[in-house]
Amino acid sequence: MKATLAQSFDGCIRIADGGTCPIRGIIPRSWYFENKEINIAMPGEQLTCVWQTAFAKGLHNNSTSGDIPKESIKELMLALANLESVHYSVRTFQEVFGSSDVISFKSFKRYVDTHLREKGYPLHLVLDEIERKCWELCQPYYKTTLNKEDTRKLWMISNRLVDENSYPSVICQREGNWFMEKMFTTIGKMWKCSEVFKTEGATFQDLLNIVEDTVLHETSQDKMQKSMTTLYASIVTEVMKSGWVYKRTRKQANWTNWVHRWCILTPNKIIYCKEEKATPKLSQTKGELLINKHTKLLGLNDYNGLIHKLKGRFIVSNEPVIDLEVAVGSAEEKVSWLSALEESIKCCREKTTPIQKLLNERRGLDVKNEHGKIQKDNKGPTTTTKMIISAKNGKHVHTGEDEDNKELSENIVHANMEKMKAVFMKMDKDGNGRIDIEEFAAFLQSIGLQMSKQEANMVYKSVDTDGNGYVSFEEFQLYFTKHVMDETSSAECVNAMRRAFMEADRDGSGTLSFREFTEYIWDKKRSIRMSQVMKVFSEATKSGSDEVSFTDFQQVIQNGASNLMMPIIEGDINEDETSDVFRDQLKQVYDDTEAKELASYIRGRWNKFASFRRAGATGTVVMTGGHGMVADILPGEYNLVDLACFSDLPPLVPKHTVIKGVKWVSSSIPGKSGKAIFPKDFDGKIVTDLATNELLRYYGCSFADTQQEKVSLLYRHGIQDFTYENGYLEKYVTTANGGAGIEKHDFSHLDCPLAANSGTFILGKFTDDDEIHITGFKIPVRHTLYIPGGTIHCNDYLSGTWRTMLSDETDIDHVHLTRALSNENGGKYEHFQFQFD
């Protein structure tokens, strides 16, 4: 097979023409072309600034492999040690690189991410600080007539273009010519000097000389500066999208007001500024939201507020920390922004950037043009970006996830989650929710796999996708569903099934008889039990036929016979043998595992909690553990709401007063109150409770500021602050307004107390048993109560300032509180007001 590896992510090789072909197992750092190993050096790595600095300072000049002496790197680390985002430890540095005399770029990159980065800092911020410091260190060594700012921008551009495996750090011909073509295009000229870049590449000083000799001869200094600014934005800042938007943010519980801002999207953040000319590096920026692989997107309907009418709305969320709501003006622009945001999240997941992907794809195209015989697989899995609406551990919906993986996650992983988790527990001997290399090696030995240490490490790294030295359940689940369960996702596997079917079809009839089916399997694998073969054949002939067609054959493998058939069929698939053996054995362990094993394991794992007892001084048991664990949570990232929603618990009911025989008599005269007639023995006392979302749901209400729930407003509403002064109940409600009451109406309410000691908000509802339930709620300050239309409520007992949403477009059905003094027909009633227990 002739192919060129440009870049690989998530089990796919990017082939030269930009397509992908599925592979399973380990992706090597090199690929084979005509039986000769070709090392692929990748451009686009920001950390090459350290290699640039080492060469500029002349720390050494003898390396040809791209490696740098350890002592030289150590000297540079001392210069970086005072950066805020850097945590440099001499001991850690020595432990990581050991007795090695030189350091490769790949190992240095891993060291920066896992050891040098200060805890809590995103990697891109660390790289930015390192690059700024490196520029300070090496800037004095360059000779040029360009001004300092243009030189800095060109240097940072060159960091994205140089080969990571070269020393001195050089820009290859293809990247150099690509950059000069873009630069000449921005000044309105055509690049014709493609031979100025030597075969061995150009150092940064060479690039400076080329720019001075070519660009400055073709244009003015001013136009060149504008060109440099444009290229810097696209290559270094990597502005993926920009434009004027309306935005508001939410931190904790409260939203800010809508403001008009110039927004800039880069691969790792959204920056918002007051002015269009602002850049991500200038002081005019008003804030930013960092993009990461867990960032979620949610499309919203148009916003119709009192002040703003906004279209093209969506939310970018890093819950529970911050939400950014954006309105971009139109549905078309909304799609454009969401597409760019999905690409940004996808880059974070793949630990790359758009410019890296572009350069690597160009490199693949160049190699294809050179050799012209690269195989193409248009039937490989395609990547489709998806908008994330919600994520739950074990039930992920990822941006940019393969559609096949999404379907497997929904159709297979969910149905077999407990079984898969039980397999994971077999590997996780110490029960900490992570599988280290020692546990992995022990598991291999327990299932009878005799692998060398090198082979075991190779397989382990294919599962440890983030390279942090341990396998989480999420990584195990992704690997298992993608490489073990999803054995039929590629055209290559379908072809293998077709070849196997034709081999089994000995009489060439196009169908398999029971004899052909069983003989084929027995010839391939003598250890198969006849009961298993008969079970699979029975599944394949469910339609009533006595023979198996190719469609039946393919379907039965996809629907559950992979443990029997795939080890046979995989013999015809050309892929890594070591990984094959591991996957076969892992699948066998999965098939032999019962889901109940997980429950048994969990009981044993948490037995000390279940059998927990504490005795007081007298020996009496004063504290005990529950009869079983509610949940078993593995290490990982979770939404707090997912951790806290206990579905096994019954719904909460607030404390409430029950009054039987209450009659609601509405007034037939607009603007006049009716009567709520309570029994004469009702003393007017109702209980109070502290409002929470769970308790408010009893009356159909909720806190509006703690959830993204869409509601329909049938009328135009206004929001206004109202202040209830001392004596409001006595001086107005009971005297001027005819007495206390309760009400309901078709429009919705929002009510938010802006200060403490805000009084009591009453909610009520009638039940089917001809009784009314009433609760007096204490609403926490700055929590916004949402009351849908038709809800019985009362604000007669409020105090202080409340921010309220209401409408004047429908009548209010208000009734006074009355008690019958005699028979109802006598018409004698007395007014009363609620008292609170």
The DSSP secondary structure of 1-47, one letter per residue, reads -------EETTEEE-TTS-EEE--S---SEEEETTEEEE-PPP--TT
Predicted confidence band of residue 30 (pLDDT cuts 50, 70, 90): very low
Q: What pLDDT does 286 receive? A: 77
Predicted confidence band of residue 70 (pLDDT cuts 50, 70, 90): confident
Question: What domains are there in the chain, each with its CATH number?
Answer: 48-234 (no CATH), 239-352 (2.30.29.30), 409-649 (1.10.238.10), 657-836 (2.60.120)
Write the CA distances from 341 to 152, 234, 307, 336, 345, integer angstroms: 29, 16, 28, 9, 6
Q: Could you tell me how many helices (H) and strands (E) the chain has, helices first?
A: 27, 38
Q: What pLDDT does 566 receive? A: 58
Radius of gyration of the chain (CA): 35
Closest Cα partner for 181 from 167, 168, 192, 197?
192
Q: Is the pLDDT of residue 573 over 60?
A: no
Write the CA distances from 242 to 126, 264, 272, integer angstroms: 24, 4, 10
Report the alpha-carbon distance of residue 799 to residue 722 in Å, rounded: 10
Task: Please name the residue that has the structure tokens 């409600």.
Answer: 733
Closest Cα partner for 774 from 680, 650, 660?
660
Q: Answer whether 694's CB lies under 8 Å from 651's CB.
A: yes
| Residue bearing the bigger pLDDT, 631 or 615 | 615
Listed in order, strand segments (DSSP E) in 397-492 are 434-435, 471-472
Predicted confidence band of residue 627 (pLDDT cuts 50, 70, 90): low
Q: What pLDDT does 601 receive? A: 65
Neighbouring residues of 669: CB distance < 8 A, sequence distance ≥ 6: none
Best mean pLDDT range from 258-272, 408-422, 579-593: 258-272
Best mean pLDDT range from 13-17, 394-398, 577-581, 750-754: 750-754
Q: Answer whether 462's CB lies under 8 Å from 579's CB.
A: yes
Predicted confidence band of residue 279 (pLDDT cuts 50, 70, 90): low
Write the CA distances from 460 to 438, 544, 598, 634, 643, integer angstroms: 10, 45, 23, 20, 30
Q: Is the pLDDT of residue 673 over 60?
A: yes
pLDDT per position as a tens digit, 442-456: 777 776 666 667 667
Which burial class, exposed, middle or buried, applies to 200 when counting CB atoms under 10 A from its CB (0-12, 13-18, 19+)? exposed
Predicted confidence band of residue 24 (pLDDT cuts 50, 70, 90): very low
Q: What pLDDT does 334 receive? A: 87
Q: Is the pLDDT of residue 576 over 60?
A: no
pLDDT per position as a tens digit, 118-141: 887 888 888 889 999 999 999 999
Q: What is the mean pLDDT of the chain?
A: 75
Q: What pLDDT does 64 receive? A: 55
Q: Answer whether 18's CB lies under 8 Å from 49's CB.
A: no
Predicted confidence band of residue 548 (pLDDT cuts 50, 70, 90): confident
3-state SS class at 276: coil
Q: Residue 296 carries which side chain, given as an amino acid letter?
A: K
What is the DSSP-derived secondary structure letter of residue 384? -
Q: What pLDDT does 791 receive? A: 92
Predicted confidence band of residue 398 (pLDDT cuts 50, 70, 90): very low
Predicted confidence band of residue 26 (pLDDT cuts 50, 70, 90): very low
Q: What pLDDT does 556 receive? A: 72
**pLDDT average, residue stretch 461-477:** 77
Best mean pLDDT range from 132-141, 335-344, 370-379, 704-713: 132-141
The helix (run of H) or strand (run of E) holding residue 751 is strand 749-753
Low-confidence winner among 405-414, 449-458, 584-593, 796-805 (lowest mean pLDDT): 405-414
Q: What pLDDT does 586 receive? A: 67
Q: Is the pLDDT of residue 159 over 70?
A: yes
pTM of the model: 0.41
pLDDT over 90 percentage in the chain: 16
Low-confidence winner among 317-321, 604-608, 740-744 (lowest mean pLDDT): 604-608
Report the alpha-carbon distance of residue 665 to residue 672 in Å, rounded: 12
Predicted confidence band of residue 585 (pLDDT cuts 50, 70, 90): low
Task: Please name the residue that has the structure tokens 């935005």.
Answer: 247
pLDDT over 70 percentage in the chain: 70
**pLDDT average, residue stretch 765-769:** 80
Q: Is the pLDDT of residue 373 over 50?
A: no
Q: Is the pLDDT of residue 396 over 90?
A: no
Q: Is the pLDDT of residue 19 over 60?
A: no
Q: What pLDDT does 517 receive? A: 80
Q: Answer whether 205's CB lies under 8 Å from 198's CB.
A: no
pLDDT per position as a tens digit, 773-794: 999 999 999 999 999 888 999 9
Write the CA distances from 355 to 10, 384, 635, 647, integer angstroms: 19, 20, 34, 45
Long-range contacts of residues 422-430, Cβ cutoff 8 Å, at least 24 apart: 422/593, 422/594, 422/595, 422/597, 422/598, 422/601, 423/480, 423/586, 423/589, 423/590, 423/593, 424/473, 424/476, 424/477, 425/597, 425/598, 425/601, 425/605, 426/589, 426/593, 427/476
**pLDDT average, residue stretch 515-520:** 78
Low-confidence winner among 27-31, 604-608, 798-802, 832-836 (lowest mean pLDDT): 27-31
Give the 3-state secondary structure percentages of the chain, helix then strand then coil, rounded to 5. 40, 20, 40
Tokens standing for residue 271: 């920056």
Predicted confidence band of residue 1 (pLDDT cuts 50, 70, 90): very low
Q: What pLDDT does 394 receive? A: 35
Q: Is the pLDDT of residue 545 over 80?
A: no
Neighbouring residues of 217: CB distance < 8 A, sequence distance ≥ 6: none
**pLDDT average, residue stretch 56-85:** 80
Listed in order, strand segments (DSSP E) in 366-410 are none
**pLDDT average, residue stretch 324-337:** 88
Report the alpha-carbon distance of residue 325 to residue 316 in Å, rounded: 6
Q: What pLDDT does 784 receive? A: 92
| Separation of CA 251 from chain center | 19
